[in-house]
Amino acid sequence: MDHNHKKSQRLALILVGVVGIMVGLAFASVPLYRLFCQVTGFGGTPQTVTATSDQVYDREITIRLDANTDPDLPWAFKPVKSTQVARVGENLISHYTAKNLSDQALTGMALYNVTPEKAGAYFHKVQCFCFDQQTLQAGQEMDMPVLFYLDPELLDDKDMDGVDEITLSYTFFAAEPEE
């Protein structure tokens, strides 16, 4: 009996450990997936970089700017211009505006993507309001610039040959302010 009891205890500990690992992986999966997408451009996730481009090419691609706001966040959010023509490698700034329509301070966080998805690997954002949470006071309006460029490596990708328009889309969601 004593031997069977020890086996049962060992099995219970192993099962608790497996469940603990699975719960840990479940919590880690979202940040790990987000990191994977940011590093690879998977799912239309634009790349984030720290340096601007130093080579500009003749190929032009229209950048369509899209803005959405979750219904739980009473903000007006829109691009200043809905389209912009970008030459591959050209450093560009696009501007969005956000206005808090409520009577209290609210914090939001923008999620973004690029379509077509295959363009995400070549859409490099140097500076973006989406890197941090944004807090707007009641009635406050804010200019939100995005500094980006299209990586010249897209010129070598045959899958990008027919792409003449890329959509950069943001959606703002309510967020708890960071301490």
Q: What is the pTM of this model?
A: 0.69
Residue 146 lies in a domain: yes
CA dist 57 → 25, 46, 91 (Å):
44, 20, 11
Q: How many domains would you assign to the chain?
A: 2
Nearby residues of 54 by Cβ (< 8 Å), 6 or more positions away: 89
Q: Which pLDDT band, with edges at 50, 70 and 90, does 37 fall under?
A: low
The answer on 22 and 73 residing in a single domain is no
How do residues 78-96 score in pLDDT, each as one tens digit? 999 999 999 999 999 999 9
The answer on 54 and 32 residing in a single domain is no
Most confident of 6-15, 43-52, 59-68: 59-68
Q: What is the rounded CA–CA span in Å between residue 115 and residue 121?
A: 11
How do residues 109-157 score in pLDDT, each as one tens digit? 999 999 999 999 999 998 888 889 999 999 999 999 999 999 999 999 9
The answer on 114 and 34 residing in a single domain is no
The domain in which residue 9 lies consists of 2-40
How do residues 49-71 score in pLDDT, each as one tens digit? 556 667 889 999 999 999 999 99
Residue 168 lies in a domain: yes
Residue 179 lies in a domain: no
The answer on 55 and 7 residing in a single domain is no
Rg of the chain over all Cα atoms, to the nearest angstrom: 22
